[in-house]
Amino acid sequence: MAKLAQTSVKYVINGSFNAEGVVEKPDVIGALFGQTEGLLGAELDLRELQRTGRIGRIEVLVTTKSGKSTGEITIPSSLDGTETALIAASLETIDRVGPCNAKINVRSVEDLRTVKRKYIIDRAKTLLSGLLSQVPETSIIAEELMQSVRSAEIIKYKGLSAGVDVPTSDNIILCEGRADVITLLKHGIKNAVAVGGTSAAPEIVQISKEKEVTVFTDGDRGGDLIIKELKQVVDVDFVARAPLGKEVEELTKKEVFKALREKVPVDQAQFLKPLGPSSNGTARKPIRTERRETSASSPRRETRDSRPQRTGRFERKPSITKKAVISDEDKSFFKEQMNDLVGTRAAAIYDSDKQFAGRVPVKELSTSIRQVESPAIVVLDAELDQDLVNICDTAGVSAIVGTKQKGSVRARNANVFTLDDL
């Protein structure tokens, strides 16, 4: 007899039997073939179906106990569902097995394709669960990608780890180490240079003579020592500190921008109370003092005089000529835009609906603003001097916002604001 290939099985008939005497497997199989012969016609005869491979090998398990036999019958089928159901029903007409009265009961006709589909679905769930556990969220991928790109933006500038904008920027930020530079790059600030300790390399001394320098240190005593050391040998302009007890590399974007926005001139830094606990155990906050005039006879002043564009940095800030009351909404908008610009030396231009029109380097503002139709607001990461105000005022701008004011400025049409007004 032909055997049914396992791959072609569609259904399995599951049944059981009870015999009133002792029977064996050949007796059961003989009853199945003999008592169903001709019952459903020649086309559905069990012998013929098994010979042609449409019914597979019939499996019978017999158990004898106390003079009676019971067992299980399994019949694989490649017939369609209707024909398989007819074969299954015909088995229940058998009333004798061997010499004994018997009863056959068909418990089920199992669709193997359904079983396979269930297995496939369950297995797919397991595999998918494992796959999803390996795939990070899009935001994590994006962050890792940006960190990788920004880390790749670190260059060697005169032998020091630095951001890509250091060679071309007019101002730089001195940090303690390479990790701090990476942190600032992560937050979009590309003009940082790593000092690498309290000892200033000759390259740092040279750079400080060419560029405006802000020292940005950790909020601990180590940061104080670095500031003290650098002030003795480096031409430092401003000082910024991380919040008390925090390192620069631990700061969030908001904390970085806040610290840089609140930088103080180096001449004021010596009047700040030291970081660390006070005598009563509570942290002491820096005390801001009024800027003092530095005499021309001071050695520090003489160094400054070699760079005339910086003279007057420590003068008292004069009042802005044209001023208007700023609404809370405008203050919030100006602050938000300024936060995004800190450390970029760029100017952001907006129309009268506060829609972003473009961002350009401050030194390119005079040519770029002419290409914007009806500019209304200009926010600059720069000190406002009369030239910058004239550029914006001539272009028809109604509001100009800068970090601070450099000397006395006048605008015919625009309102001029600084961070102090916000």
DSSP letters for 130-196: HHHHHS--HHHHHHHHHHHHHHHT-EEETTEEE-TTTTT-SEEEEESSHHHHHHHHHTT---EEE--
For strand 160-162 and strand 155-157, is the pairing parallel, antiparallel, or unpaired? antiparallel
CATH number of the domain to which 298 belongs = 3.40.1360.10
Domain end position, chosen among 279, 310, 341: 310
Q: What's the pLDDT score for residue 269?
A: 62
**In terms of domains, do 355 and 416 share one?**
yes
In a domain, 238, yes or no: yes
Domain end position, chosen among 249, 283, 310: 310
Question: pTM of the prediction?
Answer: 0.35
**In terms of domains, do 100 and 169 share one?**
no
Q: What's the pLDDT score for residue 12?
A: 94
Condensed to tens digits (0 to 9), the pLDDT of residues 31-41 reads 999 999 888 88
- Amino acid sitting at position 7: T
**In terms of domains, do 20 and 67 share one?**
yes
CATH number of the domain to which 365 belongs = 3.40.140.10
Contacts of 210 (CB under 8 A, 6+ apart): none
Condensed to tens digits (0 to 9), the pLDDT of residues 138-155 reads 666 666 666 666 555 788
Report the distance separating Cα 66 and Cα 253, nearest Å.
85
Q: What's the pLDDT score for residue 146?
A: 64
Shortest CA distance to 384 belongs to which of 376, 371, 373, 393? 393
Give the distance, in angstroms, between the CA of residue 213 and the centroid of all CA atoms in the same chain.
32
**In terms of domains, do 287 and 347 share one?**
no
In a domain, 162, yes or no: yes
Q: What's the pLDDT score for residue 214?
A: 92
**In terms of domains, do 278 and 334 share one?**
no
Report the distance separating Cα 188 and Cα 3, nearest Å.
73
Report the distance separating Cα 382 and Cα 404, nearest Å.
7
Which residues span the domain enclosing 369?
A: 328-421
> How far does the chain reach from its first CA to its final CA, in angstroms?
96
In a domain, 111, yes or no: yes
Burial grade of 288 (CB within 10 A; 0-12, 13-18, 19 or more)? exposed
Write out residues in the chain with pLDDT < 50, as ranges: 1-6, 270-322
**In terms of domains, do 111 and 160 share one?**
no
- Please answer whether residues 417 and 326 qualify as being in contact, where contact means their C-beta atoms are separated by less than 8 angstroms: yes
Token pair, residue 64, equals: 């004898």
Q: In which element (H, E) is residue 13 found? A: strand 11-19
**In terms of domains, do 167 and 280 share one?**
yes
**In terms of domains, do 296 and 396 share one?**
no
Count: domains in the chain: 3
**In terms of domains, do 235 and 376 share one?**
no
